[in-house]
Structure 1
Amino acid sequence: MASLILSPESQIQRLNRIVNKVKSLQELDVSLLTTPPHPKSWNVVEVIAHLNISYTLYVEKIDIALDKLPTNDSGSKEFKARPWQKFVIEGQRPKEGVRKWKMKTLKRFEPLLSKEDLNREKIDSIFTEFFKLHDHLKRSILKSRNKDVTKTKITSAIGPLVRFYLPEAFEFLLSHVERHMVQIDEILA
Structure 2
Amino acid sequence: MKALIAAELLQTLKEEGLYLLNEVEAIGNHTPLELLEATDGAGRWNTLQVLEHLNTYYRYYIPLIDRLLEKSTDPARTHFQPGWLGGYFTKTMLPQQGQVKNKMKAMKAHSPTAELDKEKVVGEFLQWQRKFLLMLEKARQKDIQAIRVPISIASFIRLRLGDVLMFITAHNQRHWVQIEQLLGRLPVAIG
Within a 5 Å distance, the mapping from 1:1-189 to structure 2 comes to 2-3=1-2, 5=4, 7-26=9-28, 27-72=30-75, 75-76=77-78, 78-114=79-115, 117=116, 122-160=117-155, 162-188=157-183, 189=185
**Aligned with 1:154: secondary structure?**
strand
Count of residue pairs brought into register by the alignment: 180
Given that 1:91 and 1:100 are in contact with CA atoms closer than 8 Å, whether structure 2 keeps it comes out as no
Shift of 1:106: 1.0
Q: Which amino acid aligns with 1:138?
A: L
Shift of 1:71: 4.9
Could you report, residue by residue, the CA deviation over 1:95-140 in whole angstroms, capped at 9, with x for unpaired residues? 11011211111111011232xx3xxxx2012111001111111111
Alpha-carbon distance between aligned partners in 1 of 2:155 and 2:57, rounded to the nearest angstrom: 16
Q: Which amino acid aligns with 1:86?
A: G
**Aligned with 1:150: secondary structure?**
coil
**For the structure 1 residues 91 and 4, does the alpha-carbon distance in structure 2 shift closer, same or farther, using more than 3 Å as the test?**
farther
**Aligned with 1:186: secondary structure?**
helix
Calculate the TM-score normalised by the size of structure 1: 0.88
Q: Which amino acid aligns with 1:13?
A: E
Shift of 1:63: 1.6
Shift of 1:16: 0.6
Given that 1:54 and 1:157 are in contact with CA atoms closer than 8 Å, whether structure 2 keeps it comes out as yes
Alpha-carbon distance between aligned partners in 2 of 1:162 and 1:82, rounded to the nearest angstrom: 12
Alpha-carbon distance between aligned partners in 2 of 1:96 and 1:81, rounded to the nearest angstrom: 23
Percent identical: 23
Alpha-carbon distance between aligned partners in 2 of 1:18 and 1:4, rounded to the nearest angstrom: 26
Alpha-carbon distance between aligned partners in 2 of 1:178 and 1:150, rounded to the nearest angstrom: 23
Q: Which residue of 1 aligns with 2:188?
A: none
**Aligned with 1:41: secondary structure?**
coil
Instruction: Structure 1: give runs of 5+ residues left out of the alignment.
Output: none
**Aligned with 1:85: secondary structure?**
helix
